[in-house]
């Protein structure tokens, strides 16, 4: 069974500062993927970044980077140079990899609400 | 490029009525997922299809829920009969690789 934990229900960050969103996970699958999604107040789910458990390097996508620490089972999202448009709910998710029955089956954490202030 | 399309965007119905939610995945994607989002339970995977075949429906709450994917470009999620506790936002997502899933805008369902 998989479990995703996001312990920060909400946080404030000032514009142009960096923010780290925590995510820890638990799984018995030998290989898995970790994802971050953004959900602004308009409601849509926007894919941000992906990290495979087998990847040696941390994933980066523009201002987003994923701090992957496999031994600690953590996959924190770092947003650099925050912008007002980054205000949203952020979800960490994971999925087993390999095997038709489980591939892509995402399980989400509870989310962290980020508010960026001027 | 068109993203995942869901209809209707909003649905208000009375308890006991049948509700049908529709989804058109991104062309060429071979996996389709239905999720439900509520304040109490967060985002839950209800069912997913691979190449139009249901792979895992263990997240479907009960027999009142059913989903079909008659072809690669269309899927439905049906609730019959609907109950107030079914009120939620229902998302459809599609994927080509099984990694990145592209979500539709969601259908906000209110059952009175």
Q: What pLDDT, on a 0 to 100 scale, did the predictor assign at position B1? A: 64
The distance of A17 to chain B (nearest Cα, Å) reads 28
Structure tokens at A94: 């994971």
Residues of A in contact with B55 (CB under 8 A): 100-101
What are the phi and psi torsion angles at B85 (to 5°)?
-70, -5
Task: Kindly report the number of other CB atoms within 10 A of residue A46's CB atom.
Answer: 14
Q: Which of residues 22-61 of A touch B (CB under 8 A)?
A: 33, 35, 37, 43-47, 50
Return the closest-CA partner of residue B22 out of B37, B2, B8: B8
pLDDT tens by residue, B42-80: 999 999 999 999 988 989 988 999 999 999 999 999 999
Query: Taking a C-beta distance cutoff of 8 angstroms, is the pair B33, A104 a contact?
Result: yes
Q: How far is CA A101 from CA A6, B16, B48, B89, in A?
A: 26, 33, 10, 25
Confidence check: pLDDT of B34 > 90? yes
Indicate the Cα dihedral angle B92, B95, B100, B104, nearest 10°.
Answer: -30
Q: Which of residues 5-24 of A touch B (CB under 8 A)?
A: none
pLDDT tens by residue, A80-117: 999 999 999 999 999 888 665 566 788 999 999 999 99
């Amino acid at each position: 069974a998989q479990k995703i934990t996001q312990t920060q229900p909400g946080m404030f960050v000032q514009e142009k500062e960096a923010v780290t969103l925590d995510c820890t996970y638990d799984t018995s699958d030998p290989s898995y993927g970790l994802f971050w999604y953004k959900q602004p107040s308009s409601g849509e789910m926007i894919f941000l970044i992906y990290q495979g458990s087998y990847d040696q390097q941390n994933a980066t996508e523009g201002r987003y980077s994923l701090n992957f620490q496999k031994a600690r089972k953590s996959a924190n999202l770092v947003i650099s140079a925050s912008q007002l448009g980054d205000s949203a709910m952020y979800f960490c998710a994971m999925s087993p990899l390999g095997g038709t029955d489980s591939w892509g089956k995402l399980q989400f954490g509870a989310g962290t609400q980020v508010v960026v202030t001027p | 490029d068109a993203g995942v399309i869901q209809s209707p965007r909003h649905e208000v119905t009375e308890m006991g009525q049948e509700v049908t939610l529709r989804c058109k995945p991104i062309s060429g994607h071979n996996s389709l997922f239905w999720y439900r989002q509520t304040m109490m339970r967060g985002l839950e995977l209800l069912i997913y299809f691979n190449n139009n075949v249901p792979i895992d429906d263990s997240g479907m709450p009960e027999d009142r829920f059913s989903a079909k994917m008659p072809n690669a470009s269309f899927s439905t999620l049906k609730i019959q009969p609907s109950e107030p506790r079914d009120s939620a936002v229902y998302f459809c997502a599609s994927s080509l690789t099984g990694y990145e899933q592209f979500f539709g805008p969601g259908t906000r369902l209110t059952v009175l």
